[in-house]
Amino acid sequence: MNLNYKEFGSGFPIIILHGLLGSLDNWQTIARRMSESSPFKIYIVDQRNHGKSPHTDEMNYDLMSNDLLEFFKQHHITKAHLIGHSMGGKTAMNFALSHPALVAKLIVVDITPTQAEDHHTYIFEALNAADVSHATRREEVQHVLEQKIGNDKTTIQFLMKGLQRDASDKHFEWKFNLLALWKHYVDIIDDVTSGRPFTGRVLFIKGAESDYINAGNYPDIAELFPDNELVEIAGAGHWVQAEKPDEFIRVTEKFLAE
C-alpha cells in the first residue's frame, strides 16, 4: 500500500489523517502554517479509498492501521505524533492501541473510539443520486446534492471538493471510492476498542456545537486513553480545523510543546 502524501517543513514527524469522504487537501493550509511556526516535518496523507491513494474493495480500521504502519516503514519513521479527524481519528486511535511504541502524542479531532451514530447515510444517498459520470457541469452535481441534503452549505461545499474530472477530462468522478465506502460504512462507524490502553498523552479536540463527543461516551475515552485531556473549541462543529483554524492550531501547538 503506497499512500499518497505531501510533506511540509522539517523536524520531528507529525502525520495527519483526514476524515470520511475527505482527502489530504483538507489539511494543506493547517499543515503549511504549522510547519512554518513549529519545528515539525508534517505529512498529510490520503487514506485508502480516498484522494490519490489506492482504491480497494476492502475497508476497515485494521487495514488502515496497517497502511499507516507501512507508511512509517517506507519513510523510516521510528516515532511520530499523530493527528486524526473523525475517521482519521479512529485510524490514529487504532494505530496507537496496536503500535504504542511508534506514537509520541496523539491528537483526536471530534471523534471517540466507540461505535459512532449514523451521520452519513443521507449523504451517501445524495452522492449515489448524483450521476456524476453523465454530468457536464459541476453545477448539475451540486444541484442534486442541494435537493437531497437541503441547505447545509458546509456539507455540500465539503462534498463538492471531492469532485474532479476523470483522466479523459470529459466526465466527472469522485476522488473517493464511493462504492467501497458505502459498502463498508458499517465498518467505518464501528468501534476501535480492541487492544490494551494507550498510556501516552492524548488530546481530544471537540467542536462545541458537535455531539460526536459527549458525556455518554467519554468514559470509553478514559478507559482506553487514561492520560487524556479534552479541549472544546467554541463556535465549531464537527469540522473543527476548517471552521476555527486559528484556535485549532493554537491548541494543537500548545499540546505538542508541553
What is the reported pLDDT for 164?
A: 93
Mean pLDDT value of segment 127-156: 91
Same domain, 108 and 208: yes
Same domain, 53 and 177: no
Beta bridge partners of 93: none
Mean pLDDT value of segment 27-54: 96
Catalytic residue among 86, 98, 120, 210: 86
Q: How many domains does the chain have?
A: 2
pLDDT at 62 over 90: yes
Same domain, 26 and 80: yes
Residue 58 pLDDT grade (very low, low, confident, very high; cuts 50, 70, 90): very high
Mean pLDDT value of segment 114-141: 92
What is the reported pLDDT for 239?
A: 92
pLDDT at 179 over 90: yes
Is position 86 annotated as part of the catalytic site? Answer: yes
Weakest mean pLDDT among 24-28, 169-173, 210-214, 231-235: 169-173
What is the reported pLDDT for 149?
A: 93
**What is the average pLDDT score of the chain?**
94
Mean pLDDT value of segment 18-25: 96
What is the reported pLDDT for 134?
A: 87
Phi, psi values for residue 171, rounded to 5°: -130, 165
What is the reported pLDDT for 170?
A: 76
pLDDT at 73 over 80: yes
Residue 54 sits in a domain whose CATH number is 3.40.50.1820
Same domain, 44 and 170: no
Phi, psi values for residue 252, rounded to 5°: -65, -50
Is position 23 annotated as part of the catalytic site? Answer: no
> Which residue range is the domain that position 55 belongs to?
5-117+190-257
What is the reported pLDDT for 4?
A: 98
What is the reported pLDDT for 154?
A: 87
pLDDT at 195 over 90: no
Residue 186 pLDDT grade (very low, low, confident, very high; cuts 50, 70, 90): very high
Short-list 158, 4, 167, CA closest to 71: 4
What is the reported pLDDT for 193?
A: 80
Strands 12-17 and 40-45, bridge-based pairing: parallel
Same domain, 161 and 227: no
Catalytic residue among 18, 50, 184, 238: 238
Mean pLDDT value of segment 177-181: 97
Mean pLDDT value of segment 121-149: 93
DSSP state of 246: H
Q: Domain ends where: 183, 202, 221?
A: 183
> Helix (H) and strand (E) counts for the chain?
11, 9
